Copies of this chain bind each other. A is one copy, B any other.
Amino acid sequence: MKISEAAARCGLGIDTIRFYERSGLLPPVARGADGKRRFSPGDVDWLILMASLRETGMPMERMRRFAELYRRGDDSISERRRMLVDHAATLAARRAGLDRCAALLAAKLKRYDDIEKGE
């Protein structure tokens, strides 16, 4: 499929996909006879993974490392597993941060109500 369709499916922008390719986050993407990128469904799965990791705060450096390990094949699975487990832990931390912020907002909103009632 074309890059526009891949972008629609993974939620990244077209420019971001090209940027990720330049940055070594993608296995080399095939090109058609016209020189344009052709994405396989597997490419899209990979893009979705990259998008998820990035959106949830994994730095590009670590994503590059992960991509490199992936290229090496099954021997690298134990290290990849470690990376994903680590990242799952940071997800939990982030969620806690979100919850703290939500609580803070709720308290603020309540104070606004009190102020307006008090007038």
Contact = CB atoms under 8 A, between A and B. Distances in A.
Contacts of A88: 102, 105-106, 109
Interface in A49-96: 49, 52-53, 55-56, 74, 77, 80-81, 84-85, 87-88, 91, 94-95
Nearest to A100: B52
A42 B48 CA distance: 43
Dominant SS at the A interface? helix
B91 A98 contact: yes
A38 interface: no
A105 B77 contact: no
B97 A95 contact: no
B81 A105 contact: no
A115 interface: yes
B109 A85 contact: yes
A116 interface: yes
Contact of A101 (B53, B81, B85, B115): B53
Closest 3 CB pairs of A and B: A52-B101, A56-B101, A81-B112
